[in-house]
A and B are shown apart, each in its own frame.
Chain A
């Protein structure tokens, strides 16, 4: 399977600031997604990161709060803007379309965000 890395692995941020999370894959993938996992909860899809175009957001998530970029087939960023304590979560990227299992979804290690 592909090797997926995320930066930073964790961060503690102040209310009102923004944090950009990077997701890097060691091979080209067809699809990249961003999920949020609040403490002790399940995973919720934030958006699909589309290469070269605007991300597709799920209900309850908006571009102004979670801007996403995907400049190529191996890299994406998620920004958490104007943070509040409610944004404290683990943010995970995932990828689909890695050789040889083209529809299996693999997850990055996650970024643990704490907002004070």
Chain B
């Protein structure tokens, strides 16, 4: 089955700096890569996702890049703010079809702390 590795496990940055979180996956058939933000005591919230037919996607201060050949994808947060502090999870799945489509395999999570 799919295996997703995520680094680093903790990340501390100064407000205004950039943060980068990296994930690798094992199953070359995976084609959908969402990122979730989970604040303490809250549910995971989707912040951005990317599909295997594109290499980069951006939404304001957040961007995700995908390298299918190397089987890795990264989350980039620019101009970090204290409210960005949370645990971030990457995930991978195979979209569509039957027999297991849309099952998410999660990375181990990154605790991001944005310091003033």
Q: Which residues of A contact B (CB under 8 A)?
A: 31, 33, 41-45, 48, 56, 58-59, 92, 94, 96, 103-110
Q: What are the residues of chain B within 8 A of A92 when measuring CB–CB?
A: 43-44
Residue in contact with A48 in the complex, picked from B95, B103, B109, CB distance below 8 Å: B103
Q: What are the residues of chain B within 8 A of A31 when measuring CB–CB?
A: 101-102
User: B32-64 vs A: 1/0 string, CB under 8 Å?
Assistant: 101010000011111001000000000000000
Known contacts A31-B102, A48-B103, A103-B96: A42-B46 contact under CB 8 Å: no
Report B43 CB to chain A, min CB distance, Å: 5
Counted as pairs of residues, one from A and one from B, with CB atoms less than 8 Å apart, the total is 50
Main secondary structure of the interface of A (DSSP, over half): strand
B104 CB–A CB distance under 8 Å: yes
Q: What are the residues of chain A within 8 A of B81 when measuring CB–CB?
A: none
How far apart are the CA atoms of A42 and B49 in the complex, in Å?
18
Residue in contact with B106 in the complex, picked from A42, A104, A110, CB distance below 8 Å: A42
Nearest A residue (CB) for B51: A103
A43 touches B89 (CB 8 A): yes
B108 touches A42 (CB 8 A): yes
Q: What are the residues of chain A within 8 A of B107 when measuring CB–CB?
A: 42
B18 CB–A CB distance under 8 Å: no
Known contacts A103-B95, A105-B34: A42-B109 contact under CB 8 Å: yes
